A and B are shown apart, each in its own frame.
Chain A
């Protein structure tokens, strides 16, 4: 199975900060990398698919980049509603796998 590793596992940031989360795959997943946001007690929500395509309705302060094994999710200017846990997920293999998550907390 393809292992997905996110870093950091958690981070503290302030409103207005630029935040970058990294996701690394144990083997190439080409551009088949998706990002989800989850808030406490809620189901995850799709943010970005195929590395860099924003899901409809997702604000443009979110962006994704990368290819092969290394990917990033960037929030250009953090808003209060962005404090949540973020997960990457590969869909290169039909045996899908998620990263362990990155919790973005308020500093």
Chain B
């Protein structure tokens, strides 16, 4: 059974930093791209960052502030968030990607989410 368990959320002041972790199990971790998606309170889904092999991709809204990384020996993906702003307040979901024939990508498993609140 695939499990994605996020941790590290909490209350942080504007300008502060936080590191989210996502522990994965139930699949061959190093064969799958991993993604973070966030959802501000009462709002829609926003893609944040993806790590695929050694390549990383970031939304414009977080570029230069957030860094996604992974430790395949620990089956864990991270999101380092710096220079946090009020509009980063959201539930952050860790998401497993599945790729078919290397081109068809979609998010087949989601964690339960961890809440990040940026406020003074």
User: Which residues of A are in contact with B by a Cβ distance under 8 Å?
Assistant: 1, 32, 34, 36, 38, 43-46, 49-50, 55, 85, 87, 89, 91, 94-101
Dominant secondary structure at the B interface? strand
30 A-B residue pairs with Cβ-Cβ distance under 8 Å, sorted by A, are: A32-B103, A32-B104, A34-B106, A34-B107, A36-B45, A36-B107, A38-B45, A43-B110, A43-B112, A44-B37, A44-B45, A44-B93, A44-B110, A45-B110, A49-B104, A50-B100, A50-B106, A55-B108, A87-B44, A91-B106, A94-B50, A94-B52, A95-B47, A96-B35, A96-B50, A98-B44, A98-B46, A99-B44, A101-B44, A101-B45
List residues of B whose CB falls within 8 A of some A CB: 35, 37, 44-47, 50, 52, 55, 57, 59-60, 93, 100, 103-108, 110-113
4 additional contacts (CB under 8 A) given A36-B45, A43-B110, A44-B45: A32-B105, A43-B112, A96-B35, A99-B44
